[in-house]
Amino acid sequence: MRKPMMAGNWKMNMTVAEALALTLQIDQLVGEATAVEQLLCPPFLCLHPLKEAAAAMPFSLGAQNCHWQDSGAFTGEISPPMLRGLVDYVIIGHSERRQLFGETDKSVNKKTHAALTHQLTPIVCVGESLDQNERGETAAVITAQVSAALDGLSAGQVQSLVIAYEPIWAIGTGRAATAQTAGEICGLVRAVLRQLHGNAVADLTRVLYGGSANPDNISAIMEQPDIDGALIGGASLQARSYADMVKITAEIYSP
């Protein structure tokens, strides 16, 4: 049984004060503990204050990026050992990192290895561009990205991580993939895992959908058998919409 996850990617939003306020609001709105893992990925600066303030709250914490080296002359970067003990997860290879900051399948692979070495759970992002989608290349692009990101990892490492399918054309556009398409491509991700590492690994690894997920479409998305959660940008910045998505998912997964 894969635990469902609602992962809020706050991107470059929220001061420390705003992050604390938002977290408190979410906690109040969600109320009693649910079976859904609530993951908050605020900017680096908010991680320590949130870790302290949210110790008694049911949140997991994640970073939005990390470097692959432990330390060194890399101005402005944050390394896995700095995050160890502070966060549970780290988002790796988000399409904004790939498109705006020159990240490649190779750097994504190095970061994934580095995160796992330091007991951080990577959330590896893959997704095709609009052009690739329109040319019918989605399956080939996703297969190549997943294979490259996981290159050299053991079966045990792969089943411990999370993969997020985020079509680039759906991110921040209000134009989500249909639940059916999202489900199919998450199924394709799982098929790649099956081919690389066998049934047990494919059945244990969590696969998320991301791209304009919101309270209106989350139910249909979460009904898809191969989707284990969502990576949520815009809708995670509003306490009400994020809390609603947690509650709707909890409802779907309640026995």
What does the binding site for ligand PGA look like in residue numbers (CB under 6 A)? Answer: 9, 166, 171-172, 210-213, 231-235
CB closer to ligand PGA, 189 vs 213: 213
Report in angstroms how near the CB of residue 56 gets to ligand PGA at its nearest: 27
Report in angstroms how near the CB of residue 194 gets to ligand PGA at its nearest: 25
Q: In angstroms, rounded to a whole number, what is the distance separating the alpha carbons of residues 135 and 152?
A: 30
Residue type, 101: F
Respond yes or no: is residue 166 known to be catalytic: yes
- 37, 96, 103, 166: which is the annotated catalytic residue? 166
CB closer to ligand PGA, 201 vs 217: 217
Residues forming a β-bridge with 40: 8, 61
CB closer to ligand PGA, 93 vs 210: 210
CB closer to ligand PGA, 171 vs 185: 171
- 67, 94, 113, 197: which is the annotated catalytic residue? 94
Please state whether 157 falls in left (phi above 0), alpha (psi between -120 and 50) or beta: alpha
Shortest Cβ contact with ligand PGA: which residue? 233
> To the nearest 10°, the Cα dihedral for 191, 197, 201, 205?
-60
Residues marked active site are found at 94, 166
